[in-house]
Amino acid sequence: MDINAFKEVFAAEARDYLQSLNEDLLSFENDPANRATLDEMFRAAHSLKGMAGTMGFDELAEFTHEMESVLDLLRTGELMAQPDVINVLFRSVDTLEILLEQTINEEPISSFREQLAALETLVSGHATLNSSEVEFSANLAMELDEFNRETIKQGLDLGYNAYTVIITLRDNTILKSVRVYTVFQAVEEVATIIQSNPSAQDLEDEKFDNQFGLIILTKESSDAMQELIEGISEIESADVSELSLDGSAGPATVAPAVESSAEIAASSTERRGTLPIRTQRQEALVRVETERLDKLINLVGELVISRTQVVEMTKEDENSDQKSALAQLDRVTTELQYAAMSLRMVPIKQVFDRFPRMVRDLAQSSKKEINLEIFGEMTELDRSIVNQIGDPLVHLIRNSIDHGLEPRQERVAKGKPPTGTIRLGARHEGSHILIEISDDGQGLNLERIRTKGIERGLLTTDSGEITVREAVDLLFHPGFSTAEEVTDLSGRGVGLDAVKATVESLSGTIDLESVPGQSLRTIIKLPLTLAIIKALLVVVDGETLAIPIQAVRENIQIERSQIKTVQQHDVILLRNEVLPLYDLAAVLGFRRLDSKGPLPVIIVEIRGQKVGFIVEDLIGQQEIVIKSLSGIVSDIRGIAGATVLGNGNVALILDNSTLIR
């Protein structure tokens, strides 16, 4: 079958299982007595194995098989949930994740053997001994004992037929013993099985090659018996012959080959009992490719624009029928737009889900006791933001653990609870989402930040004590931290400027609050969606441009005479602050304006620095639908995309972060 067509479904479902494995493992570690969690994990591994096998992903199937075995031993109680066992499982989930992604992306498979061996050790350390040491005789001629001989004789007297049946299974038969069972089931509907060779027990233990013999009594003809048995799956042939009671059982000599002990050992790990039931299942969900979703959203965007055009064109019309029809079109389009936007929204849970595991690992390696509290994980925001906000959050949480939370003893000495707490949460506020990360660690170390600020030349040597506010500003300053200090800095604020840059590229803002010695709180404010933004429309060289409002601080008017020059660069003085001044036309390579009158200037914040841009004219604020540019115009410095305005004209959207160097 063409398996590649199913790869996407496989990938999506497999990732879900992996995620639930990770989550369940965390709760299992906290509550090893919880049978339901264990069952859930077992089921996840089991399903993954089946899916991987079907796709022909042998490494994945092999690995998940071993995980399943370990989980089963835990279920049966043969293996205890010791910390080392749980750690092996955690690492296995990590390995599995890598293995899965490499398999899906058809990348070379990196080494997973070591981790596989770790799992195998857990399994083999607890393998039952009885099955691997069985020997059995190779010569198994079917000899009738006195009792069976008597039974057959009576049967023949009553008009039954006695047959010897030699049944051959196909070479690659899976679960041979179960196949034998189906044969027995079918045969016993019309016949009595007097004897089998090998014995029923050996057949069940799969101690035979691919042939076995039966002696049966039946009223059916030999042809009917043959047809019946050959009608069963995986049966190569069934030779049915009359049994004569003279001497031994004639052709009923079947010599099964001895199977490798490995195979026998493998069958010893068969499990008993019914399987658990997965408790929660997401129903009423349809998986849709994101590409199709994006296309729909794009088309709705186009529709919204056309609607605006139509409404604008007929503004002066007096026809009231037309007016009410247009009003209806307007309403429906707006609703459709909201509905389409909601398709882009996903719960932030997708990002938060990775943190319990990360915090657990970091807590273990840093030997701190940490309690992670998560709230508001169902808060929804734009999918593209969700995809990008993960790394900054990782950064902030790592900071909290590495530099914020104190070791147990230090906390006790300070009179704090021995276990540190990190709170991570999200909530909606207007058209924004607020993400908060707080910890009850040592907060900002003002003195250390001051010293470092002086070292970096950001503060003068004679500057006295700094406030929390000033410390925060320093932390976000691009020149404050450098890469080589990531590991040895024990204060706060490693690479916070990088976090800030990411947040700002998502049209968001970030702020820190701290009570030194007690707490630190980071608040990230993000727009709900990136598809529609508020923008300030300006005119430069006759062209309309859109500046995302997020970055705009204010608009002012200046006279030419107010422009000063510092080190050959234009600046203006605004409330005692010296701001670099650019002519937007010059920055973009447009024609400069040479007017004598007052100049409109937009003050924009770029990487924490306020900058003034001279423009030709201001139009006003408007909500715009962002269209990304593609092809050769996809990567132009200073341009983030384009939008179609109500009058049908195209306006370029400025990308503040890359506008000037």
Is residue 35 close enough to count as binding other proteins by CB under 8 A?
A: no
Is residue 350 close enough to count as binding other proteins by CB under 8 A?
A: no
Is residue 232 close enough to count as binding other proteins by CB under 8 A?
A: yes
Is residue 279 close enough to count as binding other proteins by CB under 8 A?
A: yes
Please report how close the Cβ of residue 13 comes to other proteins at its closest, in angstroms. 5
DSSP 589: T
Phi first, then psi: give them for residue 473, nearest 5 degrees. Answer: -60, -40
Please report how close the Cβ of residue 204 comes to other proteins at its closest, in angstroms. 9
Distance in angstroms (rounded) separating the CA atoms of residues 614 and 590: 12
Print the binding letters for residues 59-88 with other proteins: x by CB under 8 A, - otherwise. --x---x--x--------------------
Please report how close the Cβ of residue 182 comes to other proteins at its closest, in angstroms. 6
DSSP 422: E
* Tokens representing residue 123 in the block: 């399994």
CB burial of residue 509 (10 Å; 0-12, 13-18, 19+)? middle
Distance in angstroms (rounded) separating the CA atoms of residues 7 and 3: 7
**Is 68 tagged catalytic?**
yes
Q: Which of 22, 399, 445, 656 is catalytic?
A: 399
CA-closest candidate to residue 238, choices 210, 209, 201: 210
Distance in angstroms (rounded) separating the CA atoms of residues 661 and 655: 12
Phi first, then psi: give them for residue 555, nearest 5 degrees. Answer: -115, 140
Phi first, then psi: give them for residue 95, nearest 5 degrees. Answer: -60, -45
Establish whether the linkage from the previous residue to 198 is cis, with ω within 30° of 0.
yes
Please report how close the Cβ of residue 138 comes to other proteins at its closest, in angstroms. 24
Is residue 50 close enough to count as binding other proteins by CB under 8 A?
A: yes
Is residue 411 close enough to count as binding other proteins by CB under 8 A?
A: no
Residue 438 C-alpha from the chain's centroid? 24
Considering beta carbons, is residue 122 or 659 the nearer one to other proteins?
122
Is residue 233 close enough to count as binding other proteins by CB under 8 A?
A: yes
For residues 352 and 493, the answer to whether their CB atoms sit within 8 Å is: no
Among 269, 388, 622, 657, binds other proteins (CB under 8 A): 269
Please report how close the Cβ of residue 238 comes to other proteins at its closest, in angstroms. 13
CA-closest candidate to residue 74, choices 32, 43, 46, 45: 32
Is residue 190 close enough to count as binding other proteins by CB under 8 A?
A: no
Please report how close the Cβ of residue 262 comes to other proteins at its closest, in angstroms. 14
The piece of 270-278, 379-387, 466-474, 553-561 that touches other proteins (CB under 8 A) is 270-278
Is residue 439 close enough to count as binding other proteins by CB under 8 A?
A: no
**Cβ-based neighbours of 356, under 8 Å, separated by 6 or more:** 23, 26, 372, 374
Among 15, 126, 271, 395, binds other proteins (CB under 8 A): 271
Task: Enumerate residues 203-222 that contact other proteins by CB under 8 A.
Answer: none
Give CA torsion, residues 288, 291, 293, 296, to 10 deg.
-140
Please count the residues of this chain forming the interface with other proteins, following the rule CB under 8 A. 46
The piece of 110-118, 226-234, 416-424, 477-485 that touches other proteins (CB under 8 A) is 226-234
For residues 312 and 647, the answer to whether their CB atoms sit within 8 Å is: yes
**Helix (H), strand (E) at residue 532:** strand 532-540
Is residue 515 close enough to count as binding other proteins by CB under 8 A?
A: no
Instruction: Give 448-476 as a DSSP string.
Output: HHHHHHHHTTSS-TT-----HHHHHHHHH
Is residue 310 close enough to count as binding other proteins by CB under 8 A?
A: no
Residue whose entry in the numeric block shows the structure tokens 């992903």: 57
Please report how close the Cβ of residue 187 comes to other proteins at its closest, in angstroms. 13
Is residue 127 close enough to count as binding other proteins by CB under 8 A?
A: no
Is residue 5 close enough to count as binding other proteins by CB under 8 A?
A: yes
Return the biggest CA–CA distance within the chain. 128
For residues 512 and 493, the answer to whether their CB atoms sit within 8 Å is: no
Residues in the chain: 661
Phi first, then psi: give them for residue 640, nearest 5 degrees. Answer: -95, -20
Please report how close the Cβ of residue 271 comes to other proteins at its closest, in angstroms. 7
Is residue 265 close enough to count as binding other proteins by CB under 8 A?
A: no
Among 29, 32, 53, 523, binds other proteins (CB under 8 A): 53
Please report how close the Cβ of residue 110 comes to other proteins at its closest, in angstroms. 23
Q: What counts of helices (H) and strands (E) characterise the chain?
A: 21, 22
Is residue 288 close enough to count as binding other proteins by CB under 8 A?
A: no
Residue whose entry in the numeric block shows the structure tokens 């008017």: 557
Among 87, 182, 371, 562, binds other proteins (CB under 8 A): 182
Please report how close the Cβ of residue 188 comes to other proteins at its closest, in angstroms. 11
The piece of 2-10, 320-328, 503-511, 634-642 that touches other proteins (CB under 8 A) is 2-10
Q: Which of 22, 23, 40, 46 is catalytic?
A: 46
Decide: helix, strand or coil at residue 495. Answer: coil
Considering beta carbons, is residue 281 or 315 the nearer one to other proteins?
281
Query: For residue 430, is it left (φ>0), alpha (ψ between -120 and 50) or beta?
Result: left
Considering beta carbons, is residue 229 or 433 the nearer one to other proteins?
229
Instruction: Give 92-154 as a DSSP string.
Output: HHHHHHHHHHHHHTTPPP---HHHHHHHHHHHHTT--STTTT----S--B----HHHHHHHHH
Is residue 168 close enough to count as binding other proteins by CB under 8 A?
A: no
Considering beta carbons, is residue 273 or 631 the nearer one to other proteins?
273
Among 9, 258, 288, 332, binds other proteins (CB under 8 A): 9
Q: Which of 66, 68, 406, 616 is catalytic?
A: 68
DSSP 562: G
Query: Which residues are near other proteins by CB under 8 A?
Result: 1-3, 5-6, 9-10, 13, 43, 46-47, 49-51, 53-56, 61, 65, 68, 174-175, 177-178, 181-182, 185, 231-234, 267, 269-275, 277-279, 281, 283, 287
Catalytic residues: 46, 68, 399
